[in-house]
Structure 1
Amino acid sequence: MATARPLPASGEIFLDARGADRALRVSWHYDTDMVVLSLWRENVCTGSFRLTVDEVPELIDLLRTGLDTAYAVARTRRHNVS
């Protein structure tokens, strides 16, 4: 697997809840109309997935729906505990 390269100008790194040695890198590649999601363990890429820019809105919608549901569940839990 490839070793770490600098993140493109537009991207972000998210640390895994299981530990700082695992991370998800999200990087935009405007020259190829792609977004690359890559999994990292320490400084080594262990896998990647490429999305076309046309697929990104569907992913965002899925994440937004999941987040809305998670907040609703948390509110219900707090309400039931009170």
Structure 2
Amino acid sequence: MQIRNLTTLLAGGLLLAGNAMADRPGGDWISIEDALSKARAAGYTELHKIEADSDGYWEGEGLKQDGRLYEFRIDGKSGQVIRDQLED
């Protein structure tokens, strides 16, 4: 239930941001819901942020099982997690 609420909140926030967002997902990208699912599959138990990057990625951060903050990058088209590291 918490993840569903987070997805709704994030998607709503992206819609409300409208023209204020400099970077937007491309038309051929995976959806934000799919990106969140990929992050959960990579071990994220709590997601704090996700946004479209101008380089073609979903970028975000969140906590993993160890309670530490990590950042991730997911390819916008393939959905492959290409960065998964501790936040500096």
TM over 0.5: no
Quick check: which has more Rg, 1 or 2? 1
- Normalised to the residue count of structure 2, the TM-score between the two structures is 0.40
Q: Which has the higher strand share?
A: 1
Q: Which has the higher contact order (CA 8 A, sep 6+)?
A: 2
